[in-house]
């Protein structure tokens, strides 16, 4: 009996795996078409100065307007894009659209674009990014690249070379999802980052969980002693925002401040945000 059941489970398991594989390769095929036909688009999430409420920049987050499945979020397609080698084309395509449309927005607004660990293994990454800057005419000083902490150490030499090239071109480079990887203090000091972003998992739980609060606090101390500004992501409630201000965190983003929205929705956000927000268009910009 147990044996028979075991065999049945194995059959069911095989069928499930087969079905998952089929769905993955279908989505991968859809993705190739999607990249070619412009189904991927940038959403933007505000990053603000927590003290003044002033808008500092926008994080670019990819969304897929799938012809039959509707609006898909990165968790549903980034892993497949990474596994299939499509991530570079996809990311650069979304970045190109973002830079092209944000070019004429308020002149000091930063645009923060994510770089996948897979992209960081591409020796031509810096060249590809610079090419997009040239094609769109976007100022390198307004571009920030977010590099995930855990992706650095597969090939540290290549990562460092790439980061140096980007920085030499005037691009800002920040360390994303900090706290989830394994960088030691010494390593962090040797890495040429301009900013640290505290991983969302610590921030969202910091009010209810002492360990999370301790991690957030020590990352802020680390930033202060290395002279690096720190951004907290995942600010979902006023209590979290308040706790971060007490700890002296200068910058943040999260659902409380604003969800990721397409460019059109961003105008609404800025209008609703009141006097603290900066106008979008250079012509309206306050001095
Ligand atoms: P990330 O770089 O850590 O981006 C922050 C993620 O947290 C985003 O998820 C954002 O929507 C979400 N988020 C922001 N505020 C809150 C909050 O208050 N609470 C919660 N629970 N979540 C919040 P999203 O848009 O699903 O993106 C997931 C990840 O996919 C990103 O993580 C980023 O690493 C990656 N990604 C997104 N777009 C691109 C892209 O164009 N290229 C590459 N290479 N990666 C991308
Ligand atoms: Mg990010
Ligand atoms: Mg990221
Ligand atoms: Mg994160």
Mean pLDDT of all residues in 240-259: 96
pLDDT in tens, 190-228: 889 999 999 999 999 999 999 999 999 999 999 999 999
User: ipTM for the complex?
Assistant: 0.98
Contact 228, 195 (CB under 8 A): yes
Is the CB of 149 within 6 Å of ligand 1? no
Backbone φ, ψ for residue 14 (5° rounding): -60, -45
- 13-17, 124-128, 184-188, 283-287: which has the highest mean pLDDT? 124-128
45 Cβ closer than 6 Å to some ligand 1 atom: yes
Distance of CA 76 to the CA centre of its chain: 15
What token pair was written down for 230? 């720190």
pLDDT tens-digit map of 109-126: 999 999 999 999 999 999
β-strand pairing of 195-198 with 143-148: unpaired
Provide the greatest CA pair distance for the chain. 79
In the reported structure, the alpha carbon of residue 197 is separated from the centroid of ligand 1 by a whole-number distance in angstroms of: 12
Would you say the C-alpha torsion 101, 103, 104, 108 has a positive or negative sign?
A: positive
């Amino acid at each position: 009996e147990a044996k028979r059941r075991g065999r049945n489970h194995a059959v069911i398991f095989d069928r499930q795996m087969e079905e998952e594989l089929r769905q993955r390769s279908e989505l991968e095929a859809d993705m190739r078409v999607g990249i070619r036909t412009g189904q991927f688009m940038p959403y933007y999430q505000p990053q603000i100065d927590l003290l003044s409420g002033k808008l500092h920049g926008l994080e670019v987050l990819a969304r897929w307007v799938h012809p039959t499945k509707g609006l898909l979020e990165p968790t549903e397609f980034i892993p497949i894009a990474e596994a299939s080698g499509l991530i570079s084309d996809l990311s650069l395509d979304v970045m190109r659209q973002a830079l092209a449309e944000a070019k004429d927005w308020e002149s000091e607004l930063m645009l923060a674009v994510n770089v996948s660990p897979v992209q960081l293994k591409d020796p031509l990454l810096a060249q590809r990014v610079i090419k997009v800057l040239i094609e769109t005419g976007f100022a390198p000083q307004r571009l920030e690249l977010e590099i995930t902490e855990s992706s650095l150490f597969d090939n540290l030499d290549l990562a460092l070379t790439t980061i140096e090239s980007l920085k030499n071109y005037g691009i800002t480079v920040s360390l994303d999802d900090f706290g989830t990887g394994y960088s030691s203090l010494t390593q962090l000091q040797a890495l040429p980052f301009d900013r640290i972003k505290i991983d969302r998992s610590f921030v969202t739980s910091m009010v209810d969980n002492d360990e999370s609060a301790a991690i957030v606090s020590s990352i802020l101390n680390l930033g202060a002693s290395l002279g690096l500004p720190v951004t907290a992501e995942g600010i979902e409630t006023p209590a979290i925002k308040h706790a971060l201000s007490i700890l002296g965190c200068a910058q943040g983003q999260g659902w409380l401040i604003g969800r990721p929205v397409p460019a059109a929705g961003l105008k609404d956000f800025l209008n609703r945000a009141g006097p603290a927000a900066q106008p979008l268009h250079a012509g309206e910009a306050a001095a």
